[in-house]
Chain A
Amino acid sequence: AQTVTQSQPEMSVQEAETVTLSCTYDTSESDYYLFWYKQPPSRQMILVIRQEAYKQQNATENRFSVNFQKAAKSFSLKISDSQLGDAAMYFCAYRIPYGGATNKLIFGTGTLLAVQP
């Protein structure tokens, strides 16, 4: 069964600094998708960034980038120039690219990020 592990329950970063959140996953599939979601105190789940496993190039969205290591089954999120608004719970998630009964998004347990002014 596929699992997603986030080993850092909490992280803290100074404003304007860079922080990296870790995520590992377990799968026997070769093709899949990975996601990072942000959940601020408003509890809205917001998609931050996605990565296709068949792409070697790491995804980037403005200040957010990933370090995707397929062989190591690692998918970390780097936040550059951290801002107060980045404070939130961050969830790593996995999904296989097939429809029907296997179409599920599997979440990790989350990392709570605090941003210090």
Chain B
Amino acid sequence: DAGVIQSPRHEVTEMGQEVTLRCKPISGHDYLFWYRQTMMRGLELLIYFNNNVPIDDSGMPEDRFSAKMPNASFSTLKIQPSEPRDSAVYFCASSRDRVNYGYTFGSGTRLTVV
């Protein structure tokens, strides 16, 4: 089991550019979550999917953020256009349907927007 795989590990981009973060969940996990971590706001849930369907996107900060899960093994989080305040660590996590399990997190993507 390779765990949850995120790419890239680090991303530096200029303000106004499009950024795409990628995630491959653990095979067999029905849920996929995108979190953002900052010093000021801690860990925030942005959006999560169940069986590739978005269930709750109330945490997505604004229309510049979008997420997709075209199949069970891949998800993207896109920011367009990016702004300096989007700088954070973005985590992807996946979980089995049985909710007594915790999530398995990826290693995160550190995004810096300059």
Cβ-defined contact, A100 with B105, below 8 A: no
Q: List 12 A-B contacts (CB under 8 A).
A: A45-B103, A47-B102, A52-B100, A95-B102, A96-B99, A97-B100, A99-B50, A99-B99, A101-B55, A105-B45, A109-B42, A110-B42
- Contacts of B89 on A, CB cut-off 8 Å? 43
Cβ-defined contact, B102 with A50, below 8 A: yes
B contacts with A, residue count (CB < 8 A): 24
Q: Is B34 in the interface zone, CB < 8 Å from A?
A: no
In the complex, per-residue mask of B82-99: 1 if CB is within 8 Å of any chain A CB, else 0: 000000010101010101
Cβ-defined contact, A105 with B102, below 8 A: yes
> Which A residues lie at the B interface, using CB under 8 A?
33, 35, 37, 42-47, 50, 52, 91, 93, 95-101, 103-110
- Contacts of A98 on B, CB cut-off 8 Å? 99
Q: Given contacts A99-B50, A104-B45, A110-B42, is CB(A45)–CB(B99) below 8 Å?
A: no
Determine the distance from Cα of A96 to Cα of B99 in the docked complex, in whole angstroms: 8
CB distance from B45 to the nearest CB of A (A): 6
Q: Is B112 in the interface zone, CB < 8 Å from A?
A: no
